[in-house]
Amino acid sequence: MQILREKKMSSFYEMLTKIKQRPSMYLGRRSLSHLQVFLDGYSLARREMEVPITEEEREFEEFQEWIERRFDQPSTQSWDRIILFYSEDEREALDRFFELFGEFVHRDKHGEVDAGAHREDKIAKPQTVG
């Protein structure tokens, strides 16, 4: 008889790192719009299951305002639409999201990039192949 072990769900930032490493597996294709839909589904599922919001998810709620400031783009557009507007295509927009998300995670509390902050445990650096 096999014993099933309870597996702890990845943290929000760990999940984003996994998506960054294998976007097609999670999103179907390398697309920022697909990531946005995935995250909307993730949030809906957690709300429906009455799972409390985590500190990382609460922090990510600030990403919209940070993107608006970063691009000097106060608007009613969502963060994914703003990034896509400044990108060549969906694929580039997804790559750009992860770059911007890295900046966001490493910012200081005033919204600026903090070069002294070390949160590599929260988001993995890009891997090079070759």
Which amino acid makes up residue 118? H
For the chain, the structural domain boundaries read 12-105
pTM of the model: 0.76
Residues sharing a CB contact under 8 Å with residue 98, sequence separation 6 or more, in sequence order: 16, 20, 123, 126
In the beta sheet, which residues pair with residue 29? none
Could you report the average pLDDT of every consecutive run of 10 residues in the chain (130 residues)? 61 96 96 98 94 94 95 90 96 98 86 40 41
What would the pLDDT profile of 63-96 be if each residue is shown by its tens digit? 999 999 999 988 789 999 999 999 999 999 999 9
CA atoms within 13 Å, Cβ hemisphere of 29: 7
Tell me the pLDDT of the chain averaged across its residues: 84
